[in-house]
Amino acid sequence: MKTINNKISICLVAILISLTGFLSSGCKKDFLDAKPSTNITRPVTIADFEILLEGDNFTYSTSALPILSADEYSYIDYATWQSTSTATERNAYIWAADLFAGASNIQDWAKPYSAIFYANNVLSGLEKIEVTADNEAKWNYIKGWALFERAYHFYDLSRNFCKAYDPASSNTDLGIPLKLKPEIDDIVQRSTLQQSYDQILKDLNSARVLLGASTPTDKKNKPTAVSAYALQARIFLSMGAYSKAELAADSCLALYDKLIDYQKVSTTVSFPFDKLNEETLFTTATVPTYSACAVTFNNFIVIDSNLLKLYDTNDLRLKIYFKPSIQGYIMGGNYFGQNIFPYTGLATDEIYLVKAECAARRENTTTSLSTLNTLLSKRYPASSFTPLTASTSKQALNLVLLERRKELVWRGLRWDDIKRLNKEGAGIVLSRVLNGVTARLLPNDVRYVFPIPSDEAALSGIVQNHR
């Protein structure tokens, strides 16, 4: 009983620490002036810090803004759009300049920084623990976990609240506030984008070494060396550092390359994927704030008809990913099991696609298509699967990008892909028609960078993004 009570007390402290990091300056003063409860146990042991990192509701949430803003869905009608639960959902849909409409406590910003506060408290606390032969392995793993968490959420913030990475301007483009200390009243100004990515990759490299040559277990909320390589692959791809992305993808798949055979996945149940499925490398989901993002139970939106047309009739993803509704199709398949909010974590299918894309970009058509067909062979009935072919590396690249869009739907990655591909000249224009009015988002528009929540900008004085 004592152990259980201690765990609860530790979690309460963690919640208190993270939440107070985002309160107004007045609330911070009230908290700092208050006498702490004597029955709350402060985390001091390695086991305590592990409990902090396991707080799913606080450390495993990512922004939903990329899903709300991308071209994978539409509202069923104007009245439904008008009646949606938050102004942010309405404004994201039409790419309004004033995205949050003055709302405070925006979870797309606060949740990642909450996770970062957790990580910083763990890293600070570990430094007070003497490393011995008995605790060294566990100490290293928990430190690696905390560094991975910090890198993961720094990246989530950078990809959403900063421009797409460009080495030509990264030393002047605005990055994010790099909060590296556990103090709740530590106000940090924005770094450059280069500094942000340098810190992310530094944390991630250190984490990968500390996590060791581990492979995924039934604890999908715990990082491994495999998930560290996977995150590196995702980040380097977004940066346009394709040779580094391919190297990270190769390292990931060398340790773990399992894929789900979709022939064995039910096409009729509400939640076709188990949370502990073979492909999942590290689990996160969007913040549980926006009803428009919901999986399986969603009467507000339908999947974009142009996206649905990309799937041929034999593609098992068509029946597994999407479920019929009165107005069309909604998102059904979700790698987060029975969680109704979208999976945004790391999985092996994404890494196969990173490898295939990078191989095509270095004009190795054979490797690109071999990697892509390995993935696709698990997405079609064996009797109807025909391997894709291409006569040029450009054709191979186009095939990979098409399959990337079809495979990674509703995971928050489409928005990132549009940003990076438009920077390279893809010329992707987004448009929506609402009540007879067409909204458009042109390539490289400033609205591809989400604004800093106004309450956070006012409190800390950090530079706002121009919209």
pLDDT tens figures, 138-152: 999 999 999 999 999
Nearest CA-CA partner of 353 in 230, 213, 244, 239:
230
Environment class of 39 (CB within 10 Å of its CB; exposed 0-12, middle 13-18, buried 19+): exposed
**308: in domain:** no
Count the residues in the chain: 467
Q: Worst-scoring range by mean pLDDT, 189-198, 286-295, 356-365, 387-396?
A: 286-295
**413: in domain:** yes
Task: Determine the Cα–Cα distance for residues 293 and 68; give it in Å rounded to an integer.
Answer: 7
Strands (DSSP E) found in 166-282: 174-177, 190-192, 280-282
Which residues are paired to 324 by β-bridges? 329
**Strand, helix or coil for residue 134:** coil
What's residue 56's pLDDT? Answer: 58
What's residue 8's pLDDT? Answer: 38
Query: Which tokens go with 45?
Result: 């042991």
**302: in domain:** no
**368: in domain:** yes
Higher per-residue confidence, 256 vs 37: 256
Which residues are paired to 347 by β-bridges? 280
Task: Determine the Cα–Cα distance for residues 448 and 460; give it in Å rounded to an integer.
Answer: 23
pLDDT higher than 70, residue 33:
no
Dihedral sign (CA 423, 205, 221, 372): positive
**What burial letters (b/e) apply to 138-158, b meaning 16+ CB within 10 Å?**
ebbbbbbbbbbbbbbbbbbbb
**Strand, helix or coil for residue 178:** coil
**56: in domain:** yes
Q: What is the Cβ-side half-sphere exposure of residue 299, based on CA atoms within 13 angstroms?
A: 4
Task: Determine the Cα–Cα distance for residues 57 and 11; give it in Å rounded to an integer.
Answer: 11
Average pLDDT over residues 428-443: 97
pLDDT higher than 70, residue 413:
yes
pLDDT higher than 90, residue 22:
no
- Yes or no: say if 197 and 169 are a contact pair by the CB < 8 Å rule: no
**380: in domain:** yes
Q: Worst-scoring range by mean pLDDT, 32-41, 376-385, 403-412?
A: 32-41
- Yes or no: say if 158 and 176 are a contact pair by the CB < 8 Å rule: yes
What's residue 18's pLDDT? Answer: 42
Q: Which helix (H) or strand (E) holds 302?
A: strand 301-303
Q: Pairing relation of β-strands 61-62 and 73-75? A: unpaired
Helix axes 225-239, 242-255, angle to 10 degrees: 160
Q: What value does the CA radius of gyration of the chain take, rounded to a whole number of Å?
A: 22
Query: Which tokens go with 337?
Result: 């099991």
Counted domains in the chain:
1
Q: Which residue in this structure is represented by tokens 């890198």?
A: 151
**159: in domain:** yes
Task: Determine the Cα–Cα distance for residues 324 and 196; give it in Å rounded to an integer.
Answer: 42
**Strand, helix or coil for residue 169:** coil
Q: Worst-scoring range by mean pLDDT, 104-118, 187-201, 205-219, 377-391?
A: 205-219
Nearest CA-CA partner of 386 in 286, 296, 329, 312:
312
Q: Which one-letter DSSP state was computed for residue 424?
A: T
The CATH number covering residue 423 comes to 1.25.40.390
pLDDT higher than 70, residue 13:
no
Domain that holds residue 219: 2-262+344-460
**316: in domain:** no
**Share above pLDDT 90 across residues of the chain, in percent, rounded to a whole number:** 78
Could you tell me the pTM of the whole model? 0.92
Please name the residue ranges forming H helices in 275-392: 305-308, 316-321, 348-361, 365-376
